[in-house]
Amino acid sequence: MKYNVIDLFAGCGGLTDGFLQTGRFNTLAAVDWEYPTVQTLKKRLITKWNYNFDDVNVNVLHFDIQRTEELINGYSDSVFGESKGVDSLIGNKSVDLILGGPPCQAYSIAGRVRDINGMQDDYRNYLFESYVNMVQHYQPKAFVFENVEGILSAKPGGVQIVDRIKIAFNEIGYEITDNLRTNALFDTSFYNVPQKRKRLIIFGVKKSDKSTQIVRNFYAQLKGKASKYPVNSKVAFDNLPKIFPCQNSTKNSHNVKLNGVPLPKNHEPRTHSNRDIEIFKLLANDIRTGEEKYTSSQALIQLYKEKTGKDSNFHKYHVIREDKPSNTIPAHLYKDGLRHIHPDPEQARSITVREAARLQSFDDNFEFLGSKSDQYKMIGNAVPPEFAKIIAETILEIFENETDDLILEPGFFNKQAYSH
């Protein structure tokens, strides 16, 4: 018995992959507007989850969710191609669950610092409205809305975005927790992910006399699954061959083979200047030897000035420590890897796509398509599959242990199955 899911803002499929790992969910449709992520998700569904090639090409939609009416009813577009729309794809099947995380750059604190207007004018502040519209249309029994911690303090137009979100879901008849900061904020390093990554998980169900308790139970159960200690980053680097940075934009043999043996997919070094290689080796060795002269922000800012002659208000470098969870893997990683330096001073490089994927808990057989920049970006934007799997398992418990409280209607069970 499986539950039917629509995944919005699906990206390369971190949430979907975690849910499918349980064997209890069926992806009816997935939507994203970036072509490389859509192609990556399609390939994953076919090669890992045995979805039919023709079905995947129809049900994984490359489209802009802001155009919600067209997404639902069908479209013909010079950029996005053609589709009969999600209504046609779903037919008479019930939608049990909607997943998704609208792009987080407008809510991230780092993004607001970099933007001259603090992201106040960014259209992505209001992409949650498209998600709400889809929930309203398909009336799932529950939904999962994922985003960054920064959404809690975002105030586009002077109004807290989380207040807008609460009002929007309330108006369409769904209940979420009143205290998002206390109840809905999770650090994924306590959920089988070797990375300190704080994320807001908004779980909502249709309003009823039991809905408040159902939401409370979800968070209590999810918090109860946290490990006592975080997962350290060392597991992400184990058993990978040593590779070394390309220099001066010249590709070397490490990009394809090492001693005649093919490298794991997506495990190729970036190109780094001699200056950066020297800095990476210095900083990694500083930690490896225990000297730790460059562990403070001020020391790193000063080092940057010494090496580049430029001033900066923020430190540019960070070596991932194997005895701790990694720092957060961001979409910004596609621009440079200065804040995600490999812990081995001998390798003296930033992390590869495969290492970033491991820090996000993607399986080694998960292949990322597109350019290397596309790959880093989609990994940084993704929900870690291991965390997604734990969320999925918690929802299964809610669905199956509290069926009376959810007041499930006929067809809810799909018989066609397909901080710390």
Catalytic residues: 104
Tell me if 107 sits within 8 A of 150, measured CB to CB. Answer: yes
Cα-to-chain-centroid distance, residue 123: 20
Tell me if 232 sits within 8 A of 223, measured CB to CB. Answer: no
Angle formed at CA 70 by CA 64 and CA 71, multiple of 5 degrees = 55
Query: Which residues, 6+ apart, have CB-to-CB distance to 63 below 8 Å?
Result: 31, 33, 70, 71, 75, 77, 80, 83
Q: What is the dihedral of CA 357, 360, 361, 367, to 10 degrees?
A: -30
416's tokens: 């066609």
Tell me if 337 sits within 8 A of 325, measured CB to CB. Answer: no
Q: Rounded to whole angstroms, what are the CA distances from 311 to 110, 278, 308?
A: 19, 19, 8
Rounded CA Rg of the chain: 22
Query: Which residues, 6+ apart, have CB-to-CB distance to 311 below 8 Å?
Result: 305
